[in-house]
Amino acid sequence: MLQNEIPSKDWLVFDDTPSIRQSSSDVSFPLSPENELVMQKLIDFVRYSQDPQKNDKQTIRPAVGLASPQIGHNIKMYYIRIEDTDDETGTKKITEHAMINPKISGKSSQLACIEEGEGCLSVDGDKEGFVPRSFRIIIEGYDYLKQQKVTITVRSYEAIVFQHEQEHLEGKLYYDLINKKNPWLKNSDWIIL
């Protein structure tokens, strides 16, 4: 974690700020000190938000992902951290990806959405409704944690999280995908998660 800097809501850019709707630029390698700092802030924020001891007063909403435009940097970076429990063994599994210059190179035609809808740290007061997304995607990019280029196939909830963060890099927000006339209208072949 960054020395003496505790993640806070003050780090966040909200959807009433024009920069959140701008497309992000590619990141050059080797990373500049500023870009290293941006990635570290993304990682610190999400990890801190999920830590019940550190974030004991819920000063920030728990997050599974954060993209650089959400902290005021329109560059192609985001961090995802998903905690899951194995149904059979009961052991906790943590999946982390710190992506630089990611792109979705493949999508399934099968759509899925989260039953209760999506939320976003950059949106005060959630916008309700189904957010249809591809059930399976292939994503390519550089993983900062692995220090290498990766090609990942993700499904279900994890695929939704990746698409949510990827769209931040394109200046889009989850509620852009909600049916304006009937937010909870669902197609019969969608997978509801």
Per DSSP, the residues of 76-111 read: SEEEEEEEEE-TTT--EEEEEEEEEEEEEEEE-S-E
Nearest CA among 117, 119, 107 for reference residue 185: 117
The residue count of the chain comes to 193
The answer, yes or no, to whether residue 1 has pLDDT greater than 90, is no
All domains of the chain, ordered by start, with CATH? 9-192 (3.90.45.10)
* pLDDT tier for residue 174 given thresholds of 50, 70 and 90: very high
Cα dihedral 7→100→86→130 (10° resolution): 80
Q: What average pLDDT does range 55-83 have in this prediction?
A: 94
Is 120 annotated as a binding-site member? Answer: yes
Residue 134, H or E segment: strand 133-134
**Starting from the edge strand earliest in sequence, which strands make up the sheet with 77-85, in order?**
65-67, 77-85, 92-107, 136-143, 148-155
CB 77 within 8 A of CB 32: no
Active site includes 128?
no
The pLDDT of residue 191 is: 94
The answer, yes or no, to whether residue 84 has pLDDT greater than 80, is yes
User: In this structure, what DSSP letter does residue 69 have?
Assistant: G
CB 50 within 8 A of CB 81: yes
For 2, the token pair is: 């960054």
Alpha helices, H only, the chain:
33-50, 156-169
What whole-number distance in Å separates Cα of residue 101 and Cα of residue 120?
Answer: 21
pLDDT tens digits along 96-143: 999 999 999 999 999 999 999 999 999 988 799 999 999 999 999 999
For 66, the token pair is: 């954060």
* pLDDT tier for residue 2 given thresholds of 50, 70 and 90: low
Query: Residues 34, 88, 140, 165: which is the catalytic one?
Result: 165
CB 63 within 8 A of CB 47: no
The pLDDT of residue 10 is: 94
Q: Which residue has the tokens 């959140």?
A: 20
* pLDDT tier for residue 63 given thresholds of 50, 70 and 90: very high
